[in-house]
Amino acid sequence: MVVPDLRGMGLSSHPQNGYDKKTQAHDIAQVMDKLKIEKAALVTHDIGNMVGYALAAQFPARVTRWVIIDAPLPGIGPWDEIIRSPALWHFNFRGPDVERLVKGRERIYLDRFWNELSANPKAINEATRRHYARLYARPGAMHSAFNQFAAFTQDVADNKLLAEKGKLTMPIFALGGEHSFGMQMAEIMRLVASDVTGGVITDSGHWVMEEQPRQTTAAIVKSVQSK
Nearest CA to 148 out of 54, 47, 78 is that of 47
Query: Which pLDDT value is given to residue 224?
Result: 83
Q: What is the distance between the alpha carbons of residues 49 and 72, in angstroms, rounded to a whole number?
A: 7
148-178 pLDDT, tens digit each: 999 999 999 999 999 999 999 999 999 999 9
Backbone angles phi, psi at 23, to 5 degrees: -65, -40
More confident: 194 or 225: 194
Q: Side-chain half-sphere of 85: how many Cα atoms within 13 Å?
A: 13
126-141 pLDDT, tens digit each: 999 999 999 999 999 9
- The overall average pLDDT reported for the chain is 96
Query: Which pLDDT value is given to residue 226?
Result: 76
Query: Which pLDDT value is given to residue 94?
Result: 85
What mean pLDDT comes out for the span 214-227? 90
30-78 pLDDT, tens digit each: 999 999 999 999 999 999 999 999 999 999 999 999 999 999 999 999 9
Nearest CA to 210 out of 149, 145, 119 is that of 119
Query: What's the pLDDT band for 227 if we cut at 50, 70, 90?
Result: low
Q: For strands 196-201 and 172-177, give the pairing.
A: parallel
92-151 pLDDT, tens digit each: 898 889 999 999 999 999 999 999 999 999 999 999 999 999 999 999 999 999 999 999
In the sheet that holds 63-69, the strands lie side by side as 40-45, 63-69, 172-177, 196-201
Query: Which pLDDT value is given to residue 96?
Result: 86
177-216 pLDDT, tens digit each: 999 999 999 999 999 999 999 999 999 999 999 999 999 9
- DSSP bridge pairs for 42: 66
